[in-house]
Amino acid sequence: MSQVELSEGSVEVAGCTSPLFYRQSRPSSGDIKMSVLLLHGRRFSSENWLSIGTLRTLANVGCRAVAIDLPGLGRSSSAEAPAAAGELAPAAFLTDVCERLQLSPVVLISPSLSGVYSLPFLLQQQHLLRAYIPIAPIRTDKISAQQYRGVKVPSLIVYGDGDTELGQVSLSNLCQLANHSVAVMKGAGHACYLDDPDAWHKILTDFLAKL
């Protein structure tokens, strides 16, 4: 297993009242194949990606991975969100995050609540995305079938088969993406990556290896 560098930092983002906290991993060799940005759900933070080993796993396969704490959550709790809770946020938010952290083109991992950030970004900034990995994100119903069909970014739809609400709703909407595949995690719930980190890491690294 290769050596991995883990670090923490903060980044000023346009429209946020305070800097956003982030955790980062990268291979010590400095040989980086791609950049990955990890978002999180309402009850979670970047710490989850650290504790289940996703940051380390990504660095081990040659990625630079950045997990941010979204505005108002985790260690970014003093930062004001760019949109009301549960409403779609301006695409400019993630555009600025990627620009300031030099992540483009980025693989974007987006569970649950973070759909309000990732979906507008996906629709408006396809050229900044290398791939999109939604994990039962919210607000998929706010996007039209025509808009989904216009997205050509390689997408991997991940959900737990025990997530009979958001998992199923998001799947039915996201399946309209032009270039998608689906990975169902057996016996896992809404936060399926937490329920079975090993299975999640295999799904993730297999997908990245094909990009």
Domain residue extents for the chain: 4-210
CATH fold, domain 4-210, is Rossmann fold (3.40.50)
Which residue of the set 96, 163, 195, 196 is catalytic?
Answer: 163
Interval 6-17 mean pLDDT: 92
The distance from CA 19 to its chain's CA centroid, rounded to whole angstroms, is 19
Ranges 28-32, 53-57, 101-105, 106-110: which has the least confidence: 28-32
The CA distance from 57 to 145, in Å, is 34
Chain-wide mean pLDDT for the chain? 96
pLDDT for the residue 2: 64
The CA distance from 55 to 44, in Å, is 15
Which residue of the set 110, 190, 195, 196 is catalytic?
Answer: 190
Active site residue 190: yes
The CA distance from 209 to 130, in Å, is 13
Interval 111-131 mean pLDDT: 97
Which residue of the set 112, 114, 118, 170 is catalytic?
Answer: 112
Q: What's the pLDDT tens digit per position in 68-103?
A: 999 999 999 999 989 888 899 999 999 999 999 999
pTM of structure: 0.97
- Token pair belonging to 64: 């630079």
